[in-house]
Structure 1
Amino acid sequence: MHIANRTFIISGGASGLGLATVADLHSRGGYIAILDTNTDNGEKAVAELGAERVRFYECDITSTESIQAALDGIAAWIKETNAHIGALIPAAGVGFPGKLIDRKNQPIPLANLDFVLNINLRGVLDLIRLTLPLMTVSPPTAPDGERGVIVMVSSSAAFDGQPGQAAYAASKGAIRSLTLVLARDLAQYGIRAMSIAPSFFESSMTAAMSDKVRQSLMRVFEFPKRPGYGKDFAGMVRTCVENEMLNGECVRLDGATRMPSKM
């Protein structure tokens, strides 16, 4: 799939790994639709990259109505540009650590679990299902008849989740499991599905970690001896977009790091 003159829909695209992906795909001629709740960051990205090939749509990924409104705007934009969808990258995600039972023998509030699952899993599924009608009508590209790719964001927690990550690991494990099913479901349309499982990357989520947690994680790095950067993630997204043989797989992006069971 060529990047130039295609539209890329990126949720969570106003910050972190999503924003790095926005910049990378835009630099290669892509049209970018940023979906995010952070209006200030979204408008800043448009101002910096230019409104000619970037649009911001305020969108709450937990709301079907909000997603559909954003997609209606994107559909109208595609009619203007004739830049059909190249990829959907649902990159919006949150972490809310907490063990299922605390030291006082109290179960975790269900609202805490719902917060993570509604954004990381339900919101991803909702965004995908509502975007597919736009993707399936895109003209197929030669020589294989490809129409696009969905690149989801899993996590190393899907493989070796840490204490307190029940909801997060469950949501990211579900994304990992969804990848092959989605590839099989969409094969008839020429739409591929991939997921990327980053480990410890510099992001707004990891910035909230305590120094103790950060130092514990850095001790288990193999190579390179550093956290992942946005450019590393964006490069992997680009590879998933451009290489048509990548389909139905979750790629670990972790420098051989395996998360420890204890800090």
Structure 2
Amino acid sequence: MDPTICVSFATVKRDGYDYFEASVGSLLEGLDPRERSALCLNILFRDTDPSRNPSWGQKRTDRLVDKTGSYDASEEEFSHLQELEKARNFHEKGILAYASPSLGIWPPVSTLPYNRRDMFTQRTQLPGSDIHDRIYSLMPLKGVVEMNTYGCCTQGLVFPREQVDGLITFLKDIKTGQTDFIIEEYADMARFTQYALVPQQLQHVGLKSSRDNLEIYTGSTWAFWFEENDPAKLKREHEDFLQHPDIQRMLGHV
């Protein structure tokens, strides 16, 4: 049976601290076996020498994930990647790293031990509709809500499979820039409606950025409302969620 969702972590070697394995663990912790079977977990090692990463080639990594890999590039492309890496040109190298057929969930994230929320993300890209009615409410938003702006610094992204090729082509054409802004630009250009899950589903992990940001800027990307989640409540919701006929059908057990 084909996986219901493919998830990718892109990781690089960090000096003095590393949140990668904790991030992968937070995704897998508490998953029902049916959920794990419906998930294809792919790790993209994005150092030009992946052996620098302490998780590369480790048995524990191979046991936990479904696929691992590094750059599949021509000799000329690989040489350019090495130059970008040496110059710490993250804006261009990051685009090349993410313009991959294995596109899925991007930078490492941390989640509560409740995994219905692991299967989704902060924002998704879906085709626009012809419905223009708006409903305004003073009640807090909940569920899947439209969010066509203010989607930067997102902890995770989901893309329908049929849209991935177009996005990859767009990223390769742009070549350099802030990836999250470029994705939003692509969605605007293609007239896609963007959605978010509320409350927030994913959280960045750690105090330090791999991009040499100051701590104050790193902290500004956190999903603050994520911290309002109650683990015990989420666990109960997860158990109820797995009993829903639609979910059982999706997981292939009905």
In the superposition, the TM-score normalised over structure 1's length comes to 0.33
**Larger helix percent:** 1
In the superposition, the TM-score normalised over structure 2's length comes to 0.34
